[in-house]
Amino acid sequence: MPDSERKGTDQKLIATPFSYGDLVGYQEGSIVSRTIIDKNEGTVTIFAFDEGQRLSTHSAPFDALVAVIDGIGIFTVEGTAHEVTAGRQIILPANKPHAVTGIGKFKMVLIMIRAK
Averaged pLDDT, groups of 10, the chain, 116 residues long? 60 93 96 95 96 95 97 97 98 96 96 86
Looking up residue 64, the CATH number of its domain turns out to be 2.60.120.10
pLDDT of residue 59: 94
pLDDT of residue 116: 66
Vertex 68, ends 62 and 70: CA angle to 5°? 150
Instruction: Give bridge partners of residue 66 from the DSSP assignment.
Output: 90, 110
**Tally of structural domains, the chain:** 1
What does pTM read for this prediction?
A: 0.89
Distances in Å between the Cα of 46 and the Cα atoms of 1, 4, 58, 62, 66 are 24, 23, 18, 18, 10
Is there a contact between 106 and 51 (Cβ–Cβ < 8 Å)?
no
pLDDT of residue 115: 78
22: which residues sit within 8 A by CB, 6+ positions away? Answer: none
> Residue 76 sits in which domain range?
3-113
